[in-house]
Structure 1
Amino acid sequence: MKQGDDQHGGPTRPTVSDARLASVLDTAVDGILVIEEQGKILVYNKACESLFGYAPEEALGQNVQLIMPSDYASAHDRYLDNYVGTGERKIIGIGREVRARHKDGTEFPVELSVGEARTPDGRQFIGIIRDLRSRKEAERRFNELQADLVHIARVSAMDEMGAALAHELNQPLTAIMLYLQAATRSITRAVQGATLPVETFRQVLEKAVHEAERAGAIISRMRHFVEKREPQRREVEINAIVDEALELVMLGQRNPPRVVRRYSRGLPKALVDAVQIQQIVVNLLRNAVEALKGRELPAITIETRKDGEHLEVVVEDNGPGLPPTAVPTIFKAFSTSKRTGMGLGLSISRTIAQNHAGDLTVDPGGDGRGARFVLQLPIIAAPDNGSADEDAG
């Protein structure tokens, strides 16, 4: 007996269950497909028409490859045959993100969930297809806005450090001016008949070049830190990132705190955006410097280490610690105890860490202990055995 005929060979009337199923199929927001073992489309709901552009009469009876990109289509029948023959699942019972193809040839992302049903007509597979284009566009826009906010926070940090950076740049520029004035005087005397002290003249010019290179390095470091660009993750040495951040923060500090470096050697590399991770360390160091203002014998300890499956950067100061009222909101946006600043530093720092599958936590200290921040980043390579190297600077 074929489906749709009764025992006497005449067409059957739709049952309540049939009508209910048809209503579900027609009103479902997601595409619903049913195929048989050879991949032929048996059910194709209205949402599928919107998704793929094919009318039901164009799709029903066709192989499901009709709506697949060519690289998927070529392997699909083989997957079906393999599953039917061995029972080994590739996607059956598992939801995953794949690409689909519209009638006009364009490809787009979808979420596909596949189930299996054993029927009197043989094994059938039910696919539920959700269009991901709106979600992907929202994610893309969110990532753009987040990247803009991260960039703004870096610019804000440089703005707050403006006076110190100006002071730091003023030193080599002043030295260049003095050296060049001395060189000019030597040339003037030589023109008037005096002997030109060639070796002294050469040394003066070399010193001027050195100071110019120093000023150029400062500007280059600042420009690299604040420039707007797409995130670029690569394998990096975490100790090098910490050192660069430390140099940036200590630029122009008139009475810098003592810095103790405790860097573990032989650490595995981290797959990160180096500038963003440097941004976190800069924020932590600047906060530590701020907390130590007016303290006797101010000191900051920076430690790098491996802890299980993570690399850790620990920044600790010997200041008064964080007040209890500040702890609940310390990682919230626009929360700050500084006289200047937007209150975005720690909030964005934690966001960056979590976007790298890591985290940023704090021990607030107090009772004679300073605050202690721990940045965690996932390890991407097997570690080398090494020992800690302690250097007071």
Structure 2
Amino acid sequence: MKSRGAWRISCIYAVFGEAWIILSSVLVWIQMREPPTFSSFLEVGKGTLFIAVTSVLLYAMLRRWEAEIHRRDADLRQSEGRYRLLHESLRDGFVQVTMDGSFLDCNTVFCDMLGYSASELFTLNYRDLTPPHRHDPENEIITTQVMVRGYSDVYETEYYHKNGTIVPAELRAILVRDDAGQPSSIYAIVRDTSERRAQEARAAAVKEQLIHAGRVQELGQVSAGIAHELNQPLAAMQNYASAAKRLIERGDGIGASQAVSKACEQATRAGDIIQRMRNFVEKRDTNKKRDDVNAIIREAAALALIGAKAAGVEAHYDLATDLPPVIVDRVQIEQVLVNLLHNAADAMADMPQRVLSLSSRRNAEAVEIVVGDTGRGIPDEILDTLFQPFVTTKQHGMGIGLSISKSIIEAHGGEIFAEPNPGGGTRFCVRLPPAPVKAEDALAT
């Protein structure tokens, strides 16, 4: 198929070239006042041939040039089509703004995310869509990351929806420079994280319910020992009250007062046991704060080892005195230790020697709590999967206690593992990161 443009230009060149040759020859003939000779006609023929050849070359050159232009136009249209398809088919939002925040471009996902039409967004500034408390952090990211290396890390932000609600999002910003190398605009890929945050909140709620269920289960397993422990102060209270009544009848006010004091001590003891149970089983939000590891160990042992002496369990303590504080939720860490202590006591139920060891120490990077027993140990085929859900060595165990314990410790930035006890049985080691050193702690050391 011939190109009309190249053909017309070539024909025009040929016609005007031939006309110029003929006109020039005629003028020469007139000026010389001589009739045209064979040689002059030969010169005209040479000129005509030259015009014909150059016309063909010009046509070929123009055709090649036009083909290249058409190819580039086709490539540009194809590129623009791909860009537009990608622009509109992205599952994430796309937005481009000038350096002062005016909108240059956006896709329908970004519009739908915020409830605005594209025309409405073009009348707004980017800062109009972000809460004021996000302005300074974003300015810092643009200054320290985007302007320095041309793009930012993925970071979290928030937008105002058209209906006034807050839309949480995460994005990466990329710098665009003009031909002179100067910053001209910024574009970003924006992802709505509302659903992800809702899923995380639901997962956290389920996890908290599971942790609470684990505490209830642990408390149920030691309920017989708790009943026995409570029965002692209640019986003592009754005895002291009866003695006080008899002493009052005899007129011995001092003795009666002492008996009442003793009864009050037993009431306090019973109240402490009940309060410890209530704190342990209470369902509440996570509350992490600086705490003493040894104090947590003692409180967990006081709850978990109720009735241990009656079962023939001998508890040995080896608690280091130079431990740094840790930042933990005390009740959750106590839950882990109660589970480990209760498992250790169960593992030794049919053993002639029942020694339970509790120790704390500090290594280079963590504070360690070690619970050891002299039971039969854990089979090798179970040891690697011990902390997975529904894996248990107990005949009637549910297999969720150690799984919950692992999730709790990992949520605190620590780790938990089991290993054979050199003296026979099993050792469970809990490692927790120490709390950052405060100024007063540094002065004290």
The separation in 2 between residues aligned to 1:364 and 1:70, in whole angstroms, is 56
Secondary structure in structure 2 of the residue aligned to 1:266 = coil
Match of 2:116 among 48, 54, 62: 54
Percentage of identical aligned residues: 33
Cα offset for 1:72? 2.9
Q: 1:204 aligned to 2:204? A: no
The separation in 1 between residues aligned to 2:374 and 2:340, in whole angstroms, is 14
* Conserved? CA contact 1:160–1:340, under 8 Å: no
Structure 1 residues 252 and 126: CA distance shift in structure 2, 3 A: same
Structure 1 residues 76 and 219: CA distance shift in structure 2, 3 A: closer
Bigger mean CA offset, 312-321 vs 65-74: 65-74
The separation in 1 between residues aligned to 2:399 and 2:417, in whole angstroms, is 17
What is the identity, as a one-letter code, of the residue corresponding to 2:153?
I
Q: Which residue of 2 aligns with 1:153?
A: 214
Alignment of 1:1-393 (within 5 A): 15-60=77-122, 62-73=124-135, 82=143, 87-88=147-148, 92-120=151-179, 123=183, 124-187=185-248, 190=249, 195-253=250-308, 254-365=310-421, 369-382=424-437
* Conserved? CA contact 2:157–2:168, under 8 Å: yes
Cα offset for 1:25? 1.0
The separation in 2 between residues aligned to 1:150 and 1:291, in whole angstroms, is 23
What is the identity, as a one-letter code, of the residue corresponding to 1:102?
H
Q: TM-score, normalised by structure 1?
A: 0.86
The separation in 1 between residues aligned to 2:209 and 2:220, in whole angstroms, is 16
Cα offset for 1:318? 2.2
The separation in 1 between residues aligned to 2:208 and 2:138, in whole angstroms, is 38
Q: TM-score, normalised by structure 2?
A: 0.76
Gaps of 5+ in 2: 1-72
Cα offset for 1:87? 4.0
Deviation track 1:4-38 (CA, whole Å, cap 9, x = no partner) reads xxxxxxxx997111121111111111110112223
For the aligned residues, what is the CA RMSD? 2.5
* Conserved? CA contact 1:272–1:356, under 8 Å: yes
The separation in 1 between residues aligned to 2:169 and 2:226, in whole angstroms, is 50
Bigger fraction of residues in strand: 1
Secondary structure in structure 1 of the residue aligned to 2:186 = strand
Secondary structure in structure 2 of the residue aligned to 1:350 = helix
Cα offset for 1:166? 0.7
- Greater CA radius of gyration, 1 or 2? 2
The separation in 2 between residues aligned to 1:250 and 1:77, in whole angstroms, is 56
The separation in 2 between residues aligned to 1:69 and 1:119, in whole angstroms, is 30
Secondary structure in structure 1 of the residue aligned to 2:176 = strand
* Conserved? CA contact 1:300–1:318, under 8 Å: yes
Gaps of 5+ in 1: 1-11, 386-393
The separation in 1 between residues aligned to 2:225 and 2:140, in whole angstroms, is 66
The separation in 2 between residues aligned to 1:223 and 1:75, in whole angstroms, is 43
The separation in 2 between residues aligned to 1:225 and 1:76, in whole angstroms, is 43
Secondary structure in structure 2 of the residue aligned to 1:259 = strand
Q: Which residue of 2 aligns with 1:3?
A: none
Structure 1 residues 316 and 96: CA distance shift in structure 2, 3 A: same
Structure 1 residues 288 and 137: CA distance shift in structure 2, 3 A: same
Bigger mean CA offset, 129-138 vs 263-272: 263-272
Structure 1 residues 347 and 73: CA distance shift in structure 2, 3 A: closer
Deviation track 1:272-329 (CA, whole Å, cap 9, x = no partner) reads 1100000111111111111122323321221111222211111112222212232133
> Across the two proteins, how many residue pairs are aligned to each other?
364
Cα offset for 1:339? 3.7
Structure 1 residues 259 and 79: CA distance shift in structure 2, 3 A: closer
Cα offset for 1:338? 2.2
Structure 1 residues 154 and 244: CA distance shift in structure 2, 3 A: same
The separation in 1 between residues aligned to 2:114 and 2:322, in whole angstroms, is 53
Structure 1 residues 177 and 74: CA distance shift in structure 2, 3 A: closer
Q: Greater relative contact order: 1 or 2 (C-alpha under 8 angstroms, separation 6 or more)?
A: 1
Secondary structure in structure 2 of the residue aligned to 1:127 = strand
What is the identity, as a one-letter code, of the residue corresponding to 1:343?
G
The separation in 1 between residues aligned to 2:157 and 2:430, in whole angstroms, is 35
Bigger fraction of residues in helix: 2
